[in-house]
Structure formats: C-alpha cells, structure tokens
Amino acid sequence: MGLRPSRCYKWDSPAYTRTSNNPQDSFITGIPGSKIIHYNMGNLKGDFEVETSIVAKERIQVRHNALEATRTAVNRRLEKALGRMGYHFKIRVYPHHVMRENVMATGAGADRVQSGMRGSFGKPIGRAARVNKGQAVLSIYTKNEERDLRIVKETLKMGVKKLPGNLEVIVRENEA
C-alpha cells in the first residue's frame, strides 16, 4: 500500500516529538529517520541580493519525503542552470512531528486477530514538518539578474507542485 493521504493526519494537537519531561509519556520506542540529507546547498558563503521563497498560505504538514523530493528536483535544476556557485538553496523547516498509524490486518481471519480501535495509539510511520501560515518552506538566494530570477521562479513553481497545500512564490530584496 502507498502513503496515506494527508487528510488522515489532523493538526489537532501539539507536534508529537517523543521527547517529554516525564519519561513515561514518551511512548514511541523509535522514530523513523528523516529522508532529508542536506538543508543548505550551493554557495553557502556567497553574497546574494535577492531571496525567493515558497511560502505557505495556510497551516500545513509537509512529509519528509515530499521535502526531499522537492529538494532534489530543485537543486538539480538550479545546479544545471546557475552552476554550483550561483545560488544558495536553504530548506527552512524541519520535520519534528512523528506521524503514527493504527495498522489494520487484512485477509482471512483478520477480525479474530486484532482488536480494532481499542488502545489504538499507532506505530510511527514517518515524520512531518508543521508549517504555519506565512512561513517560508524553502528559500533560494541569487544575484539580482533577470535571467537568474526567471530560472529561480520557474524552478520554484515546479517545486510547489511536489508539496501539499496552498503555497505561493515570493521574491524580496535581501537586507544586507
């Protein structure tokens, strides 16, 4: 089975991160690892004038695999078009929230094996970053040239398609 749709995971409680002041409240024995490898790419020490970001128009939860898919696609395209030293690409959110799923048995005799929703805490299946309205998901810093801005805007519009929710691309001058 593939991934469950995002409507299965509500934002009705604080982020579940397993850490608690009271050790008995930390129920999950293991957290799945994040698929995101790098959070900063390109020229990390460059001096860039323009920041172009993907910003959320609503509260959303972004899975770590959606962030990684967006990161690889955007970074590959920027590297080909602008060169490795022509940009600084930064992921601005971190997947802290542990998503859980009450796995149901299927097949013959499954009703005799499981107890349904009784004590259904769920097993960890992945991580998600919780993004508030107006928060930047990722940003690209470039020079203030027409060609670079056009490439970055096209790339981020492609990246928006890989992320859930209602998002927009915003360009602003970088304060130096």
Predicted confidence (pLDDT) at residue 58 exceeds the cutoff of 90: yes
143 Cβ contact list (under 8 Å, min separation 6): 48, 49, 50, 86
Q: What is the pLDDT of residues 77-133, one digit of tens each?
A: 999 998 889 999 999 999 888 888 777 767 776 666 677 677 667 788 888 899 999
Q: Which domains does the chain have, with CATH numbers?
A: 45-107+122-176 (3.90.1170.10)
b/e sequence 55-90, b meaning 16+ C-beta within 10 Å: bbeeebbbbbbbbbebbeebbebbeebbeeebbbbb
Q: Where is average pLDDT lowest: 28-37, 59-68, 131-140, 166-175?
A: 28-37
Whether the per-residue pLDDT at 167 is higher than 90: the answer is: yes
Report pLDDT for 102: 76
Asked if residue 149 lies in contact with residue 26, where contact means CB atoms within 8 angstroms, the answer is: no
Q: What is the pLDDT of residues 3-17, one digit of tens each?
A: 777 677 777 777 776
Higher pLDDT pick, 151 / 29: 151
Answer whether residue 70 shows pLDDT above 90: yes
Using CA atoms, how far apart are residues 124 and 60, in angstroms rounded to an integer?
19
